[in-house]
Structure 1
Amino acid sequence: MIRWLEVGALCFLVLLSCTTAVAREGTRPSVAFYYGNEAPVELLDQFDWIVVEAANLQAGQRQALERHGGQAFAYVSVGELDPWRPYPEGLPESVLVDHNPDWDSRIADLTRPEWQRYLVEQRISPLWEAGYRALFLDTLDSYQRFAPEGDEAAAQQRALVALIGDIQQRFPGMKLLLNRGFEVLDQVHGQIVGVAAESLHHRWHPSSGIYGPVDAADRQWLGDQLARARDQYGLPAIAIDYVPAADRELARDIARRIADDGFIPWVSVPMLDQVGVGLIEPIPRRVLVLYDKSETEAGELAYGNAHRYLAMPLEYLGYGAEYLDANGPLPSDVLHGRYAGVVSWFSAPLANAPAYSDWLLGQLENGLKAVILGDPGVTLSSPLGEFMGLRSVSLPDQRNLEIVAHDALMGFEGMPDRSGFFEGGYAPTRAGLTTHLTLRDAKGTEFNPVITGPWGGIATAPWILQQATEFQLRWILDPFAFLERSLDLPVVPVPDPTTENGARYWITQIDGDAFVSQGDFPGAPYTGEVMLDEILSRYRVPTTVSIIEGEIGPTGLYPHLRSRLEPLARRIFSLPWVEVATHTYSHPFEWENLVDGDLAGQGQTRAGFNYNLPLPNYRFSLEREIAGSTDYINRHLAPPGKPVKVVLWTGNALPPEEALAISERLGLRNLNGGNTSITRSFPSLTRVSSMLRPQGAYLQVYAPQINENVYTNDMLGPLWGYRRAVETYQLTDQPRRLKPIDIYYHFYSAASPAALNALKQVYDYVLTQETLPLYTSTWSDIATQWYDLGVARRLDGGWQIRGATQTRTLRLPSELGWPDLSRSQDVAGVREIPAGRYVALSGQGDALIYLTPRPPATPHLAMANGRITEWQAHSPRLLSMRLAAEDIPLKVELAAVAGCRVDAPGARQERRGDALVLHYSDAQSGRIEVSCGQ
C-alpha cells in the first residue's frame, strides 16, 4: 500500500539506467505503479519500469513482467510498518514510535538497529532471493511526524543514508528508487536511480476522499524539487497524480501536462489498483467474460453462449476473452483501464445476485463498460437499474407484439417479423440512452429489448440469436457493431493472427485417426500409403502429421500391424516438409469425462461410444496420453533431430488445464477444437468459433476450420463433402478475414476415391490463393502470443507494440490512415486488400508506429509467402532484409521501388509498375537490399 505523509506527499519512483529498446533510443522511460491484487501482466509488461507489491504477485509473474526487457521494482516501506503484514519476529514494540492515521500504519524510528535489521533481513533479503533486483523505497519521510526538524530529524536522515549504503553493500547491483527523500538527495544521489513525488497537478485528500487541483504554491515547490533531481543530479523525475477512476480523459490531460513540464507522468487512483496513464497508455486487449458455471454442461465454459458466439467477434475486434464464473469471487480492484469491458450472457438469475449487482454497479461507477446479453442475472429494479437508467417492462400478454422500429444494429443475418417468446424488455428512464429496437403490445405498451448507453449495452432474447432450424442459428443482432458501440471501443491498430506480410496464413494438419485402415483402392493399401503417394508427395507444403500410439504401437489395439505401420509412419515423418505431432495414446473422445485411473473403454458417451480407445489393461493417465505418446514417437518413429512439436487434441478437443500444462512443460504446441464450418447453405457466423480457449494459466488453440468429418457426416456421406471447406475459407475471408486457411483432415480421407479427390480439390483451390504456409506449431505460437501482445498509445501520438516476435501483423482501421514509414520503427510494409489494411512488422519484438493520411511512397514490403528473419531500415530509402519460407520456394513483392536498385541474389525479378516481384525458384530464403538514392 502507498503511504501518505502529513503534507499529503506520496513517495514514488524515478529511473536512471535504461536497458530496454525504448530507453536505448534516448526517449524517457515509461513507468507504471500497480499494487492491486491481481496484476494485469499483459498490460504492465509494456512499461520499461513497473513498481509492484511483490506479495500480490503470483508465481512467475515477476518474470513475466520482465519478459520484454522491463524492470520490476518491489515495494518496500522504509519508515512504516504496514498494518496488513505479519508483525516482524523479534522486533521490539519500542521501535514503533508513532502512528499514521491515513493508513493505520505505525511509524518506525530509523535510527534503531532492530528496525534496520528487519528491513534488510526480513523484507529485502527475501525479495532478493525471489529474483528482484530493484526496490522502490517508500515512506522515507515518515519520521517527520515525530521529528520534523532539528537534531532529531538530522539523526533520522543519517540513519536513512546509512541504510541505503548498507542495502547497496549487502545486495550488489540492486537498483534503488526513492519516494521523495529530497533532504538526503545530496548524499545518496549516486546510489539511487531516481526520485518521484505525487500530486504535481491533481491530488487526492486522504482525510476527505476528495480529488482536486493542486494549488499554485505547492505545485511550484514540488516542481522545483523534481527539477533539481532531474537537472542537478541527472535523475529522471516522476510525478504521480490522482484522478477519479472513471475520468480517463482527465487522466490523459494530466499526464500530458506532466510530460510538458519535463517529468515522467503516472496518473491513476490513490490505491494504485488501476492501470493508469503514463508516457504510454496500454490499450486493454482483454474483456472479462462472466458466465454461470452452473448453467453449462459439466461446468465447461466452451458450452456457454458467450464462448460459443461472442468470443469470435471479440477476437476479430482485437480483444481476448478472460472468463470468470459470476457466482464465484469477483475482482476487487478497479477494472476500468485493465479490461476493455465486461460481458455477461446468462440464462437465469444468478445464485449470488445481490453481491453481483453491487459489484457490477461499483465497476460501472468507476467507468467500466458492460455488455449484458440474455438474462442480466439480477433485477434491474435495484440501484443498478437506476444507474443505468432502465426500468423493466413486464409482458403479461405477449400475443400480437409488433415491431415499431429498429435501426441498422438489428437484422445482421436476418430480421424476424416477430417471435413467439420474449424475456421482456426495458424502458429508458432518462436521456442519453439509444433504443435500437422498439416493440408494442396489443394494449399499446412499448418496450425496448436492445438499448445502449454511457454504461454499455443490453440485449434480451430472442433478439440476439434466432433459431432457424433445429441445428441452425443466425444472428439478429450485429455482434461486431453492438460490441463496438456498447464498450465504446477505441479506434486502434488491431493485432491480427490471420495474415502476415500481406498474405493469409495457411496451415495443414492430419489427425492420426484411420492410419490403421485400408483404402477402397486396388490392393487395399493402408490409408497412410495412399496419403503418402497421393497427397504428401504431391503437395509439398508445410504439413503437421500425427499418429495415435494406441492404434499402431506395441501396447495398442493392433500390435500385429506394427511391422507394417511403423515403417510407414517413419517414411512420412522423414519428409522434409512434414512436422511431427502426437494424437495422444488412447484418443480421448470426451476429455471431461475421463479421470486418471479410469479403465480404458469402460465409460459410455451419450452416443454409445467409449470415452477413449479400449486399450488392453490401460488405466487413463494424462501424462501417458501426452508425454508417453510423445516419447514413443520420438524413440521409434521420428527421424533423429526431428522430435514431436505439436499435440493435436482428440475427440471433443476439450483438454483440461493439466493436459495443457503437460504439453507446455514438454515444449509442445497445441491445436484442435472449435467448430468453424460456415458454408453457403448455412452462412451464419454462429458457425465460426473463437481462436482460443483459456484454461487457467494456459491457452488451448482451436483449429481455424474444422476437419472433413463435419463436411461428410462422419464419413457416412457425402464422401466428397470436404470440398465444401473451400466455402468456409471464402466466408471466413470476406467481408471480414476471420481465420487463416486450415486444410484439416484425417487419414480417413485416403480411404475412398471420392474423399481423396475432394481433398485434392481443396489443395488445388488453396494453391491459387495468396498465402503464407506455416507449420501448425508456428501458427499456434502466433495465436498464443496474440492474446498477450501489447498495444499502447504514446503521448506523442505514436503507437507502441511490445513483444511482437510471432504475431507480426496489425490491421489498421481506415480512419487511422497509413503507417508513416519515415518515422516508424520496425515496420516493414503495408498492404490493402478487400479484407482490410494490413501492416507488416519486422518481428524483432518491439515496434513503433506513427500514422499519416497518405499511403507510403517509400520502398516497403507488400506481400511475401515467407517470414522476415532479418530487418534493418538504414533510412526510409535504404533497406536490407532476409525472408524465409517454411519448406517452399520464397516469393516476395516489394512496393514503391520504381527507380530503386534491388539486390536479391538468386531471385528472378519481375517488374509490375512501381512494384517488383522476386521469385526464388528453389531457394526457401533470400537476402534483399533496396537502395533508392538520396
Structure 2
Amino acid sequence: MVHRFGLVIALICGWLLPAPIHAQTDTRPAPQADIQPAPQAEHVPVPRTVIALVEGGSDFRLRDTRSHVMATMPLEQLGLVVEYYRADRPLPDLTGRPDVRGVFTWLAATSRPGAERLLTWYERAVDLGKKLVVFGELGVSADPETGPLPRRRINRLMEHLGVHMGEGYASYTAGTAYRVRDRNIWGFEHTPPLPPPFSEYTIVDPRVTSHLTLESTGPEPVHGDLIVTGPNGGFVAPFFAAEMDPPSNIRRWLVDPFAFFRLAFATDDLPKPDTTTLAGRRIYYGHVDGDGWRSISEVKIDDEPASAARVLLERVVERFPDLPVTIAPIAAELDPDWVDDTEARRVTRAFFELPHVEAGSHTYSHPFRWAFFEHYDRAVEQEIVRRNGTDHDIHAGYARLADEQDAAGVDETKLDIGKYSLPRAFFAEPFDLQLEIDGSLDRIAEVGGQSVKVVQWSGDTSPFEAALAATREAGVPNINGGDTRFDSDYRSYGFVAPIGIPVGAERQIYASMSNENTYTDLWTGRFFAYRHVLQTIRNTGLPIRVKPINLYYHSYAAEKLASTNALLQVHESMRGREIAPVTTSHFARIAGGFYTTRLIPLGPRRWRVEERGALQTLRFDRATRTAVDFAASSGVLGARPAHGSLYVALDPEVAAPVVALTDRGHPLDPDPAPHPYLFDSRWPAYALTVDGDAATVSARGFGALSMTWIVPRTGTWRVRVSQDGDTVWSETVEIDGDRRLSIAPGDAAEATAEARIRIERIGD
C-alpha cells in the first residue's frame, strides 16, 4: 500500500516546449557553465512565469509529466504561466528575467548525472530572489559518477525554505500522531488511512508555517514538518502531494494545490488573466469533429436512412440557434478525388449557411498518430496499410497504395504506431503538411462557402511543432486535446487539463472538456453517457470556476438514438444558464491571450494590461471587499463579484486598459462609479463611451440579448437598443437602492448583428 503513494506518471512525451525545452537538444550532461542566455525585459511586469523542472529520459513526453498533468492547471488558475525545462538539459539563466516568479520542481529521482550543476542552479535562482517550491525530491542527493553531494550544502538550500532535513526516517506510520494538521491544505481530495513514510524535517525559520506536522512513535521518534510555506516558497515532502497510479487511472490530490500554490508563490497581489469568464458570465462554446460524417444513423429523417451529419444538422444544430457551434469536417471527405460523396458536400453547405455555425477544419486526411508524420515515409505507411488495411476499407486510397512501388524492406521499428491500426484515416495521396492545414482550409471553405476559422486536431491530438506553426502561419488558432473530465468516474482536479501545452516554439490550445469518445468507452457502449458531461460542467464551475463550458463531440454522436438524445439533453440544459456563448475560434484566441498578457504595475492596486490578445477578463481572488475604482481606471467595461472573486471586464476596443482597485464597504454593495458599468451580459460588449452619467456600448452575440448594468444613482433611467441606426427596443425604468438595471428585449434585437445600447438618466 505504501508504494502506491510513490507511483508516478510515466515521463514520456516528446513535445518539447517553447524556447525552453525546444532548445534542449544536447543529450550529454550539461557542464555547470552551460546556461542559456536570458532575454532582457523592456518593462517590469508583475512576474507570472514559473520555471518547472521535469524529469527527462529517452522516452520523455511532456504531456505525461506530473507537472503538466497535475500541477499546471492550478498554477494557471492562479494566473501563472508555466515554462518547462528538463532537469537533464541546460537550464535557463534567470538573471534579467523579472518575469520569473519562481521555480517549481516535482522530480522523482533522488540522484542524477549533473546533480551538482542542478544544485548550483537552484542556489543561483534563490540568490536572485526567485521563490522555490518543491514537491518531493530536489533530485540532487548524488551524482552516479562523483558520489553524494555534501548534505550541509543541500540543507542550506532547504533552510532557505525554512526547514532542516535530518537523518531520521519513519518507515512504519501506524500510531503516528498529527501535531499540526491544516485541513485547508492537507486531505484535499483524499486522506490516506495511514500517512506515507516520511523523513525528518524540522522548521528552522519562524516566518514559515507548517501545515502538516507528524510525530512517529517508537524508541526514536521522528519529527516531520512535511508541508510548509513561507516567504521564500514552499515544500511538500515526498509522497505527500498527490497519489498517482496511471495503470489504475488514479489521480488525486492530498494537498490542496490551489491553497498551497497561492501561499507558496504569494499570488494574492497578482491579477489573474481569466479564460473562463466574459462580460461577467461563464463562457460557453461548442465544437464538432467531423469523424463519422457519412456514417448511416439509426435516427431516420422522413422515415428514410440518413447520414450522421444530416441527423446532427436537422435534429440538433438547427434546434439550438442560440448556441454557437463550430463544425469541422475532414477535408478528404469533401474532395471528389479522395471521397466522391455529393451528399456529404451538400450537408456541409447546409451547416455553414446557419448564422450560428462557424467553419472549422478537422484536417485533410485525419492523422491518427501525429508523431508518425513528423518524419514521414510513404513506404512505411504503405507497408502498415498492406498489413493492417483491407481491400474493402471504407477509407479511399487502399487500392491506390497497392499500385504503388513495393515497400518491402522497410525498418520494422518504424511500423509501430501504438494503438492505431493505420497512421491516418485517408491515404489516397502522400502526406503533405501544407495540404493538411492550408489545403483543408481552402477545400472546406470552397465547399461550405464560409472561411475556416480554426483547426481542430485529429487522432491522438498531439501535433508536432511544424503542424502547429502551419496553423499560426495560416492565421487560424488551433484546439483539441486535454480530455478534461471531473465526474463520478474521474473524481479529481487531477483530470482537469491546463489551458494548453507548449510544443517546441509553438503552443497547442486544449479543448476545455472531453468529447463523447471517452464517455462511451471509445464508442463501444454506453452511448447515452455523454450526458454525464453535465457533472464536469458543474464540478469545474463550483466551488472554483476553473473551466468554461464546452460541448465537444464528433458527428458520429448522431449515429445512435441514445447518443443523439444525450446531445439533445446537454444542449437543452444550456438554456436558462447564465452564459456568454462564443465561437470556438474566439475561445482559442482568448486562451492564447492568457499566455501573452503582461500586467504593468502603475502604483498600489493599479495595473496597465498589455498584449492580452482576445482575453477580456481579469480576476481578483479573496476580493469580497474589493471594488473597481472606475475613476482611476480606463478601458474597463464593468465588474462582477462571484465565488469570493471579482471578475473585471475589459473593453476589447482599448489596447492597454488600466485597472485600479479600491475598497468596498459591504460585500453586497455595488462598486462605486460615476457612470453606469456592466455587471453581466450574454452578448460580448465593446466600445464603451461615457457622457456624464450616461453610457453607450456595442454588443454582438448569440441568442436573445440580456445584460445587467449598475447605474451610479437611483431615479428614472431610459434604455435604448438600436441596430443599423434604428431603435428596436426602448424602456424606461425606475431604479431603486440596488442600482441594477436589467435589459432583456427578447427577439427585438437580432442575434449575431451588432446592437448599440444607450443607458441614460432622465429624472429623479
Name the TM tier (shorter chain): 0.7 to 0.9
In 1, the alpha carbon distance for the partners of 2:638 and 2:63 equals 37
In 2, the alpha carbon distance for the partners of 1:478 and 1:524 equals 52
1:722 is matched with 530
CA shift, 1:622, in A, is 2.7
1:246 is matched with none
- Contact kept, 8 Å, 2:94 with 2:100, in 1: the verdict is no
In 2, the alpha carbon distance for the partners of 1:323 and 1:548 equals 33
2:643 is matched with 834
Unaligned runs of 5+ in 2: 1-17, 24-36, 142-149, 385-414, 665-669, 722-726
The yes-or-no answer on 1:615 pairing with 2:385 is no
State the SS of the aligned residue for 2:191: coil
The correspondence for 1:546, drawn from 317, 320, 328, is 328
Which amino acid in 2 is paired with 1:652? D
Which amino acid in 1 is paired with 2:629? D
Structure 1 residues 683 and 597: alpha-carbon distance in aligned structure 2, compared to 1, 3 A threshold = closer
- Contact kept, 8 Å, 2:331 with 2:365, in 1: the verdict is yes
The yes-or-no answer on 1:893 pairing with 2:671 is no
In 2, the alpha carbon distance for the partners of 1:681 and 1:330 equals 39
1:412 is matched with 188
Structure 1 residues 273 and 554: alpha-carbon distance in aligned structure 2, compared to 1, 3 A threshold = closer
The correspondence for 1:926, drawn from 746, 755, 759, is 755
In 1, the alpha carbon distance for the partners of 2:760 and 2:324 equals 33
CA shift, 1:375, in A, is 2.3
The yes-or-no answer on 1:645 pairing with 2:453 is yes
Which amino acid in 1 is paired with 2:696? S
Structure 1 residues 299 and 834: alpha-carbon distance in aligned structure 2, compared to 1, 3 A threshold = same
- Contact kept, 8 Å, 1:909 with 1:917, in 2: the verdict is no
The yes-or-no answer on 1:450 pairing with 2:227 is yes
- Contact kept, 8 Å, 1:437 with 1:450, in 2: the verdict is yes
Which amino acid in 1 is paired with 2:550? D
Structure 1 residues 305 and 910: alpha-carbon distance in aligned structure 2, compared to 1, 3 A threshold = farther
Which amino acid in 2 is paired with 1:822? A
- Describe the superposition over 1:706-751 as per-residue Cα deviations: whole angstroms up to 9, x where unpaired: 1011112122221110111111111111111111111100012100
The correspondence for 2:283, drawn from 498, 501, 505, is 505
In 2, the alpha carbon distance for the partners of 1:621 and 1:772 equals 38
1:101 is matched with none
State the SS of the aligned residue for 1:653: coil
CA shift, 1:369, in A, is 0.3
Q: Which moved more, 1:776-785 or 1:373-382?
A: 373-382
In 1, the alpha carbon distance for the partners of 2:140 and 2:508 equals 32
1:301 is matched with 62
The correspondence for 2:122, drawn from 360, 378, 381, is 360
Task: Look at both structures and tell me which one has the larger radius of gyration over its CA atoms.
Answer: 1
1:631 is matched with 442
The correspondence for 2:699, drawn from 879, 883, 894, is 883
2:720 is matched with 903
State the SS of the aligned residue for 1:650: coil
Structure 1 residues 910 and 678: alpha-carbon distance in aligned structure 2, compared to 1, 3 A threshold = farther
CA shift, 1:501, in A, is 1.1
CA shift, 1:300, in A, is 2.1
CA shift, 1:608, in A, is 4.9
- Describe the superposition over 1:466-513 as per-residue Cα deviations: whole angstroms up to 9, x where unpaired: 258921221101101111222222423221111111111110100011
2:158 is matched with 388
In 1, the alpha carbon distance for the partners of 2:579 and 2:188 equals 30
2:412 is matched with none
The yes-or-no answer on 1:845 pairing with 2:661 is no
Equivalenced residue count is 652
In 1, the alpha carbon distance for the partners of 2:205 and 2:466 equals 50
Which amino acid in 2 is paired with 1:388? M
In 2, the alpha carbon distance for the partners of 1:356 and 1:836 equals 38
In 2, the alpha carbon distance for the partners of 1:302 and 1:910 equals 55
1:568 is matched with 347
The correspondence for 2:202, drawn from 427, 431, 435, is 427
The correspondence for 1:492, drawn from 270, 273, 276, is 270
- Contact kept, 8 Å, 2:486 with 2:536, in 1: the verdict is yes
Structure 1 residues 906 and 284: alpha-carbon distance in aligned structure 2, compared to 1, 3 A threshold = same
The yes-or-no answer on 1:312 pairing with 2:73 is yes
Matches within 5 A, 1:16-55: none
Which amino acid in 1 is paired with 2:422? N
2:689 is matched with 872
In 1, the alpha carbon distance for the partners of 2:115 and 2:480 equals 36
The yes-or-no answer on 1:476 pairing with 2:254 is yes
1:464 is matched with 241
Q: What is the aligned-residue identity percentage? A: 28
In 1, the alpha carbon distance for the partners of 2:114 and 2:268 equals 33
The yes-or-no answer on 1:526 pairing with 2:307 is yes
The correspondence for 1:329, drawn from 87, 90, 105, is 90
In 2, the alpha carbon distance for the partners of 1:498 and 1:308 equals 19
In 1, the alpha carbon distance for the partners of 2:677 and 2:370 equals 48
Structure 1 residues 414 and 587: alpha-carbon distance in aligned structure 2, compared to 1, 3 A threshold = same
- Describe the superposition over 1:823-844 as per-residue Cα deviations: whole angstroms up to 9, x where unpaired: 2211111112336321111122
In 1, the alpha carbon distance for the partners of 2:70 and 2:175 equals 27
Structure 1 residues 433 and 893: alpha-carbon distance in aligned structure 2, compared to 1, 3 A threshold = closer
In 1, the alpha carbon distance for the partners of 2:63 and 2:507 equals 13
Unaligned runs of 5+ in 1: 1-39, 42-57, 59-270
Q: Comparing both chains, which one has the higher relative contact order based on Cα–Cα distances under 8 Å and sequence gaps of 6 or more?
A: 2
State the SS of the aligned residue for 1:851: strand
In 1, the alpha carbon distance for the partners of 2:133 and 2:731 equals 52
- Contact kept, 8 Å, 2:678 with 2:708, in 1: the verdict is yes
Structure 1 residues 903 and 632: alpha-carbon distance in aligned structure 2, compared to 1, 3 A threshold = closer
In 2, the alpha carbon distance for the partners of 1:579 and 1:506 equals 14
Matches within 5 A, 1:196-207: none
- Contact kept, 8 Å, 1:906 with 1:926, in 2: the verdict is no
In 1, the alpha carbon distance for the partners of 2:44 and 2:476 equals 34
Matches within 5 A, 1:92-171: none
Structure 1 residues 819 and 661: alpha-carbon distance in aligned structure 2, compared to 1, 3 A threshold = same
2:13 is matched with none
Which amino acid in 2 is paired with 1:630? L
CA shift, 1:611, in A, is 3.0
State the SS of the aligned residue for 2:336: coil
Structure 1 residues 551 and 461: alpha-carbon distance in aligned structure 2, compared to 1, 3 A threshold = farther
Which amino acid in 2 is paired with 1:452? T
In 1, the alpha carbon distance for the partners of 2:627 and 2:729 equals 29
2:357 is matched with 578
CA shift, 1:682, in A, is 3.5
In 1, the alpha carbon distance for the partners of 2:265 and 2:171 equals 33
In 2, the alpha carbon distance for the partners of 1:542 and 1:772 equals 10
The yes-or-no answer on 1:289 pairing with 2:60 is no
The correspondence for 1:606, drawn from 389, 410, 418, is 418
- Describe the superposition over 1:350-405 as per-residue Cα deviations: whole angstroms up to 9, x where unpaired: 43211011011111022100111132221282524213323254538446472533
- Contact kept, 8 Å, 1:502 with 1:840, in 2: the verdict is yes
- Contact kept, 8 Å, 2:374 with 2:464, in 1: the verdict is no
- Describe the superposition over 1:257-277 as per-residue Cα deviations: whole angstroms up to 9, x where unpaired: xxxxxxxxxxxxxx998769x
- Contact kept, 8 Å, 2:637 with 2:686, in 1: the verdict is no
The correspondence for 1:667, drawn from 456, 465, 475, is 475
CA shift, 1:448, in A, is 3.4
- Contact kept, 8 Å, 1:491 with 1:816, in 2: the verdict is no
- Contact kept, 8 Å, 1:735 with 1:835, in 2: the verdict is no
Structure 1 residues 438 and 364: alpha-carbon distance in aligned structure 2, compared to 1, 3 A threshold = same
The yes-or-no answer on 1:760 pairing with 2:536 is no
